[in-house]
């Protein structure tokens, strides 16, 4: 039996999973089924056999033994994983006798060395003369200290980086394997270069930002030869175990601006959605998260809520940052500079407050009549709320709009069989989930959003003149009530009072 077999036999693969926040929905004999940590898995398709100590994902085809699982989860080589697990499960190994995957390890080490050199050369180039990348950073108010700390770089068209690498002793074949060159030309030429580091402070990816605002992609990434970019978190190299929480932001400039304001515990997801691998990494770093992501469009709000749910499911405490003017962390930091710490403290809110704020904002900025996407979104988000949270949200709406949402407290137990149609509402033919009621000169409409009805009175002709609003819009001064579907009699009362 070789060392790998010995160690694999000693480890508990279920324990490895549980320590890495992989939860199982179903257990049948020795087979454990759960959500896959390696792809965006809605139907649990990740299966682990406790006895055979193997895993297999039917969704993304990742499979292997316990050591390979550990290696994949921590993005280390199988050999390193084996050594760590041997230590943890107290298995005596004679690792010198075995050179498993030494070849690929050597190749990866070489790529890392080349990356490191490119980052260094490009960084010196950026600082050495008044080039477009340096001027761009100055325009965006990034200080030298930050440029240096994050080793930002730049290489123009005339660079001879390929030759420089050859001079440093790297072979043509080794350079070719970095996938950073087309013939001898560096693929991220003329872009602001962000080296992306792992937690060991090794460069493992590059991202290049367009500096000319032409039609090409804003960011181009190096190809995945060490690690998928989706597995990386920008700024992870500055992780410090003493940090109480992590602030999750979208982009590089958010991280830079926060660092410039003295806030070093941010992590950028480098996109709109957090990937499964990033969830895993985040939950291994901390148990407290503050999400500071965009909230101006339904699709980005959805991404934020999805992140919330995923992180809470992994046992993390999640809070939100919300500024009403919807500026991203970069803009906010630049505006208030060293005040940001104070401001941030005041702007961190819980889920229910965040829900309320984004909800009202989306309602205000959307034509809620026809925006099916919005109703889908609210429906989806409301399903993340506990009853207590929903209650808080409704209480706030009541207070803010001086309206009464009665019986919401009895939402669950108070179901009766009345429908809107049974009290005189008619369906709009063309608009799904929408009803109207007409009596005398008043129209009342109801929009069905998930478990709730949003009831509002349409303006009369006189009011339309007065407020100068279009007839298909809600007048802002108008009362709006939101009720649970189980409380139709409240709608009846509302109409009685109204008419
Ligand atoms: Zn998978």
Q: How many angstroms separate the Cα of 446 from the Cα of each of 42, 96, 107, 236, 381?
A: 33, 73, 64, 48, 20
Q: Bigger pLDDT: 149 or 407?
A: 149
Out of 315, 349, 383, pick the residue that ends a domain.
349
206 shares a domain with 240? no
Is residue 356 domain-resident? no
46 CA → ligand 1 middle, Å: 6
- Total structural domains in the chain? 4
274 CA → ligand 1 middle, Å: 16
Within its chain, how far is the Cα of 494 from the centroid? 41
Out of 231, 259, 293, pick the residue that ends a domain.
231
220 shares a domain with 247? no
166 shares a domain with 190? yes
Is residue 29 domain-resident? yes
369 CA → ligand 1 middle, Å: 39
Q: Bigger pLDDT: 47 or 405?
A: 47
Per-residue pLDDT reduced to its tens digit, 16-29: 998 887 888 888 88
Q: How many angstroms separate the Cα of 56 from the Cα of each of 51, 87, 150, 248?
A: 14, 25, 38, 30
225 shares a domain with 146? yes
Separation CA 294–CA 184 (nearest Å): 39
For residue 149, pLDDT over 80 is answered with: yes
Separation CA 260–CA 143 (nearest Å): 8
CA dihedral 189, 116, 196, 235 (to 10 degrees): -140
Is residue 481 domain-resident? yes
Tell me, what's the pLDDT at 416? 39
Sign of CA dihedral 157, 160, 161, 163: positive
Is residue 112 domain-resident? yes
Residues 434, 448: contact at Cβ < 8 Å?
yes
Best mean pLDDT range from 147-161, 266-280, 330-344, 368-382: 147-161
- Domain encompassing residue 188: 102-231
223 CA → ligand 1 middle, Å: 21
304 shares a domain with 220? no
Separation CA 60–CA 62 (nearest Å): 6
For residue 367, pLDDT over 70 is answered with: no
Is residue 354 domain-resident? no
490 shares a domain with 378? yes
Instruction: Specify the CATH number for the domain of residue 164.
Output: 3.90.980.10
CA dihedral 167, 168, 174, 176 (to 10 degrees): -50
Angle (CA) 359 363 367, round 5°:
150
Is residue 74 domain-resident? yes
Tell me, what's the pLDDT at 399? 63
276 CA → ligand 1 middle, Å: 10
178 CA → ligand 1 middle, Å: 26
pLDDT-based confidence at residue 166 (cuts at 50, 70, 90): very high
**Residue 297 DSSP one-character state:** S
Is residue 12 domain-resident? yes
405 shares a domain with 376? yes
Q: Bigger pLDDT: 72 or 301?
A: 72
Q: How many angstroms separate the Cα of 164 from the Cα of each of 114, 118, 121, 184, 262?
A: 11, 9, 9, 11, 36
493 shares a domain with 371? yes
pLDDT-based confidence at residue 175 (cuts at 50, 70, 90): very high
Per-residue pLDDT reduced to its tens digit, 37-79: 888 777 888 999 999 999 999 888 889 999 999 988 887 788 8
Q: How many CA within 13 A on the CB side of residue 404?
A: 8
173 shares a domain with 151? yes
48 CA → ligand 1 middle, Å: 12
Instruction: Specify the CATH number for the domain of residue 240.
Output: 3.40.1360.10
Q: Average pLDDT of 297-303?
A: 75
Out of 69, 97, 125, pick the residue that ends a domain.
97
**Extended beta strands in 130-190, E state:** 153-154, 181-182, 185-186
392 CA → ligand 1 middle, Å: 37
408 shares a domain with 316? no
Is residue 357 domain-resident? no
Tell me, what's the pLDDT at 13? 94
Separation CA 300–CA 273 (nearest Å): 8
Q: Bigger pLDDT: 84 or 358?
A: 84
381 shares a domain with 489? yes
467 shares a domain with 394? yes
Q: Average pLDDT of 119-126?
A: 96
69 CA → ligand 1 middle, Å: 12
104 CA → ligand 1 middle, Å: 23
202 CA → ligand 1 middle, Å: 27
Separation CA 178–CA 176 (nearest Å): 5
78 CA → ligand 1 middle, Å: 19
């Amino acid at each position: 039996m070789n060392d790998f077999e010995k160690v694999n036999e000693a480890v508990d693969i279920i324990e490895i999973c549980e320590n890495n926040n992989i939860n199982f929905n179903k257990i049948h004999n020795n087979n454990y089924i759960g959500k896959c940590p390696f792809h965006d898995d809605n139907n649990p398709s990740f299966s682990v056999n406790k006895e055979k100590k193997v895993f297999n994902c039917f969704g993304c085809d990742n499979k292997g033994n316990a050591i390979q699982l550990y290696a994949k989860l921590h993005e280390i080589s199988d050999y390193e994983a084996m050594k760590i697990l041997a230590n943890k499960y107290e298995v005596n190994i004679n690792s010198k006798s075995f050179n498993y995957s030494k070849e690929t390890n050597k190749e990866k080490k070489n790529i890392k060395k080349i990356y490191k050199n490119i980052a260094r050369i490009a960084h010196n180039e950026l600082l050495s003369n008044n080039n477009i990348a340096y001027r761009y950073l100055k325009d965006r108010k990034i200080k030298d200290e930050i440029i240096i700390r994050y080793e930002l770089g730049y290489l123009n068209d005339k660079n001879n980086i390929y030759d420089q690498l050859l001079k440093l002793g790297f072979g043509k074949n080794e350079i070719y394997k970095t996938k950073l060159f087309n013939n001898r030309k560096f693929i991220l030429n003329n872009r602001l270069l962000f080296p992306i580091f792992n937690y060991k402070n090794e460069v493992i990816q590059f991202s290049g930002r367009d500096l000319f605002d032409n039609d090409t992609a804003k960011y181009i990434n190096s190809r995945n030869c060490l690690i998928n970019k989706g597995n990386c978190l920008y700024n992870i190299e500055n992780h410090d175990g003493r940090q109480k929480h992590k602030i999750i932001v979208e982009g590089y400039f958010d991280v830079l601006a926060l660092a410039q304001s003295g806030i070093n515990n941010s992590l950028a997801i480098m996109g709109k959605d957090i990937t499964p691998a990033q969830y895993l990494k985040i939950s291994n770093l901390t148990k407290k998260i503050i999400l500071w992501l965009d909230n101006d469009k339904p699709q980005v709000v959805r991404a934020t809520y999805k992140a919330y749910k995923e992180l809470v499911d992994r046992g993390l405490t999640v809070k939100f940052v919300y500024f009403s003017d919807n500026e991203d962390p970069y803009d906010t930091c630049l505006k208030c500079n060293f005040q940001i710490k104070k401001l941030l403290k005041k702007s961190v809110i819980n889920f229910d407050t965040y829900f309320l704020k984004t909800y009202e904002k989306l309602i205000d900025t959307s034509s809620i009549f026809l925006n099916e996407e919005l109703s889908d979104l609210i429906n989806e988000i409301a399903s993340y709320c506990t009853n207590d949270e929903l209650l808080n949200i409704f209480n706030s709406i009541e207070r803010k709009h001086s309206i009464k949402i009665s019986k919401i407290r009895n939402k669950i137990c108070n179901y009766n069989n009345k429908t809107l149609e049974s009290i005189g509402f008619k369906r709009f033919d063309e608009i799904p989930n929408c009803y109207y009621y007409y009596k005398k000169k008043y129209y009342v409409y109801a929009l069905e959003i998930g478990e709730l009805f949003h009831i509002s009175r349409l303006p009369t002709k006189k009011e339309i003149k007065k407020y100068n609003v279009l007839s298909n819009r809600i007048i802002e001064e108008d009362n709006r009530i939101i009720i649970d579907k189980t409380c139709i009699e409240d709608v009846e009362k509302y109409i009685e009072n109204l008419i």
